[in-house]
Amino acid sequence: MPVEGNRPKIVVTIHGIRTTGVWQKQITPYLAKQGLIPYHIDYGYFLALAFLFPPLRQRQVEKVRKEMRRLVELTGASRISVIAHSFGTYLAMEALRADNGELKYDRVVLTGCILANDFSWTDILNPARAMVMAVRNERATKDWVVSAAAFASRRLYWITRLRAGDAGRTAFEQKHPALLDYQTEGGHSEVHNQLKFEQWARFIAYPLLPPDILDLIIIELDALRQEVARAFQGNATLIRINLFAPIAGALRIVPGATVNMNYAPELDLKISPDHGATGTAFKQNTVAFVIKGDRGWGGNLLPGKELDKLHPQLKWVLSFPIYSKLRETVIAVVSIDGLETLPAPLQADRNSDEFKGTVMLPYPFIRDRISPYLDIAFRGEKAPETTV
CATH number, domain at 343? 3.30.450.40
- Same structural domain for residues 166 and 263? no
- Mark whether 229 and 338 lie in a shared domain: yes
Task: Tell me: do 369 and 224 sit in the same domain.
Answer: yes
27-to-11, 72, 148, 202, 385 alpha-carbon distances in Å: 11, 21, 27, 12, 25
Residue finishing a domain among 205, 229, 245: 205
2 pLDDT band (50/70/90 cuts)?
low
Distance of CA 181 to the CA centre of its chain: 16
In a domain, 332, yes or no: yes
Last residue of a domain, one of 145, 177, 205: 205
pLDDT 10s digits, 169-220: 999 999 999 999 999 999 999 999 999 999 999 999 999 999 999 999 999 9
Any idea what DSSP says for residue 361?
A: T
> What is the C-alpha to C-alpha distance for residues 135 and 14, in angstroms, rounded to an integer?
15
Same domain, 33 and 122: yes
Residues 198 and 216 in one domain: no
67 and 149 in a single domain? The answer is: yes
Q: Does the pLDDT of residue 77 top 70, yes or no?
A: yes
Inside any domain, residue 24: yes
Would 386 be classed as within a structural domain? no
Q: Verify that 369 and 229 share a domain, yes or no.
A: yes
Q: Per-residue pLDDT averaged across 233-254, rounded?
A: 94
Task: Please provide the distance, in angstroms rounded to a whole number, between the alpha carbons at the two ends of the chain.
Answer: 33
Within 10 Å of residue 292's Cβ, how many Cβ atoms?
Answer: 16
Structure confidence at residue 281 (pLDDT): 96
| Alpha carbon distance 36, 11 (integer Å) | 7
Helix (H/G/I), strand (E/B), else coil: 273: coil
Say which CATH number the domain at 196 has: 3.40.50.1820
pLDDT of 387 = 43
User: pTM for the full model?
Assistant: 0.91
Is 387 part of any domain? Answer: no
Q: Give the pLDDT confidence score for residue 1 in this predicted structure.
A: 47
- On whether residue 15 sits in a domain, the answer given is yes
- pLDDT of the residue at 161: 75
| Domain count along the chain | 2
Q: How far apart are CA 271 and CA 354, in angstroms?
A: 30
Q: What is the pLDDT of residue 46?
A: 59
CB 10 within 8 A of CB 37: yes
Q: For residue 13, what are the domain limits?
A: 3-205
Same domain membership, residue 182 and residue 70: yes
- Across the range 134-155, mean pLDDT stands at 91
Query: Mean of the pLDDT values across residues 354-358?
Result: 89
Rounded to the nearest integer, the mean pLDDT of the chain is 90
Distance CA 87, CA 97 (A): 16
User: 321 and 263 in one domain?
Assistant: yes
Residues 323-339 have a mean pLDDT of 94
CB burial of residue 346 (10 Å; 0-12, 13-18, 19+)? buried
Model confidence at 64, in pLDDT bands (50, 70, 90)?
Answer: very high
Burial of residue 384, with CB atoms counted within 10 A of its CB: 0-12 exposed, 13-18 middle, 19 or more buried: exposed
94 lies in some domain: yes
294 within some domain: yes
Residue 290 CA to residue 65 CA, distance in Å, equals: 46
Q: Check whether 362 has a pLDDT greater than 90.
A: yes
Pair (245, 188) in one structural domain: no
Residues 193 and 279 placed together within one structural domain of the fold: no
Query: Which percentage of the chain shows pLDDT scores above 70?
Result: 94
Answer with the one of 184, 205, 226 that is the final residue of a domain.
Answer: 205
Instruction: Report the distance separating Cα 254 and Cα 102, nearest Å.
Output: 27
The amino acid sitting at 212 is: D
159 in any annotated domain: yes
201 and 249 housed in the same domain: no
Strand pairing category for 80-85 and 10-14: parallel
Residue 250: how many other CB atoms lie within 10 Å: 16
